[in-house]
Structure 1
Amino acid sequence: MKIKEVAALTGVSIRTLHHYDEIGLLSPEKSLENGYRIYTDVDLSTLQQILFFRALDFPLKKIKEMMSSSYYNRLEALEMQRTMLVDKQSKISAMIETIEKTIQHEKGEYVMSQQEKFAGFDFENNPYEAEARKRWGDKKVDDANKRVHNMNKQVQEEMNRIYRDLAAIRTIDPTSEQAQQAITQWFHFLNKHFGTYTPEAFRGLGLMYIEDERFTNNIDQFGEGLAKFMSEAMNEFAHKTTTKP
């Protein structure tokens, strides 16, 4: 198939297909007669695989790295993608249910509990993984991911409880004793379930809460201003911990 036919079939723009070729992600053979790109059945299967990864928010660089690996197996990749998409579907369904209940609550048709307001919010899937890998390395992130995937419901509930407890006191001085006691629980929780966080790494994580609006928006769903409060409290915690005699 020619590139225009592939674009019409898949909905992927010609410009995007050119880009995939330029970066070596999908490079079809070119006709000796006129130099046109000719896509084979294998190329179309590869494009399908790329689009599944893109639907799961994998960056192109990571897709190329995985698909060019000698360990890459198309069937295994499809099975992994299916699992991830089903998981994504269930989380979206949970979010939709929470929205429906919230709409009914706003209309006065349903009394919504505080727990129900946050049902479906998921902080496990980290859209900032690429940056985390750049900052702390693959092994650190892979180890953390394994712990995240093994988290049981009890641990997830503990995480949400800490967020709610912090949200309840987000208007007080983040350097106060009460705030520091609360943020210390967050520090211990992260070290227990997500690897080893030094006080300095803890401070750095807090900075990301306010420097990256995606972090800010997610955390502030538990209460407006929570991200800023946590960041300041984490900074104070790190300062006190590192300056102890």
Structure 2
Amino acid sequence: MMTIHELSEISGVTARALRHYDSIGLLKPTAVSEAGYRLYDETALERLQQILLFRELEFPLREIKAILESPGFDKNRALEQQITLLELKKEHIENLILFAKGIKLLGVKYMDFKAFDTGNIDRYAKEARELYSNTPEYREFLEKSKDWTPERDRAMEARIMGIFARFGEIRDKSPQSPEAVALARELQGFITENFYACSDKVLMGLGKMYSGGGEFTENIDRAGGPGTAEFAARAIAAATGLS
């Protein structure tokens, strides 16, 4: 575990920004010490890296949160996009260096302004944004959450974690039990009402994400106890009949 100041030092993100990320539900601390200090583990560090990748693509924080919590989010695809964008920026910087050297050698009459053209970068960033923003779930979530306050964000998080806590209370039962299936349907209804239309297919995708390791699994298991995320995923599979 590392403190917020240690995370700030290794990431270059200010402690103030990290506290803001916490307040809007974008990057929650893994735990809070008895003295009230935010603590972060490697899973939180991985999520911060993903956040910073999207910041390089100039996504607003609210959209980054929607993307990272979307059932269709693909970390590998996001990384590929980031590599391409950095390569384009590298090329742009190299062109600027050559331009500056040209001015030094030829003087101010060196009037070629092509080095300042960021068209390729801008076009790629736009395409990357459209890849995520074209999903109906993404657009619906942004519309429903556009007026949310940080307090509303925290309230929604507490309510959904309350559902997972109830999954934890029955995780010694069969995931095909009526109680487990009913709770999976309740989760589906909650997501549909407050975030986006959660079809059986989308719910199944969420279930796989919940049990796939990383931050989602850790948070759910923290709410309901070890194995809760896996149990919830199996209950979702039983409710939807999908695999």
- Shorter-chain TM-score category? 0.3 to 0.5
TM-score normalised by the chain length of structure 2: 0.46
Q: TM-score, normalised by structure 1?
A: 0.46
Structure with higher RCO (Cα < 8 A, 6+ apart)? 2
Largest Rg, 1 or 2: 1
